Structure 1
């Protein structure tokens, strides 16, 4: 009988731990979703033309034709 009570207590503690971890993960996800990572330094403005560069060479040809030369 004592073994059954001990086993039930262990299962209950595991379930409580899983619930706590689940709630902490949800809280952490909510904090991440609320924080905006896109503009770390809004005072720094990049000049035009310093964004992502268009593909050149083989990548541009394969994208334009749909084939790899």
Structure 2
């Protein structure tokens, strides 16, 4: 009987972990979709040419 309870608790914890990871991934994907990755602002992070 103790073995059945132990296995049930382990399975429940695994299911809880899977659910938590699933929810966190969903929130992460929403944040990525909300933030538009585009071109950098002009002059930011770009090297200027020394010779023209």
Give TM-score, length-normalised by structure 1: 0.59
1:38 partner SS: coil
Residue segments in structure 2 that go unaligned for 5+ positions in a row? 44-52
Superposition RMSD on alpha carbons, in Å? 1.4
Residue segments in structure 1 that go unaligned for 5+ positions in a row? 46-69
Bigger helix fraction: 2
Give TM-score, length-normalised by structure 2: 0.77
Q: Which residue of 2 aligns with 1:17?
A: 17
Q: Which residue of 2 aligns with 1:67?
A: none
Rg larger in 1 or in 2?
Answer: 1
- What is the Cα deviation at residue 12 of structure 1? 0.2
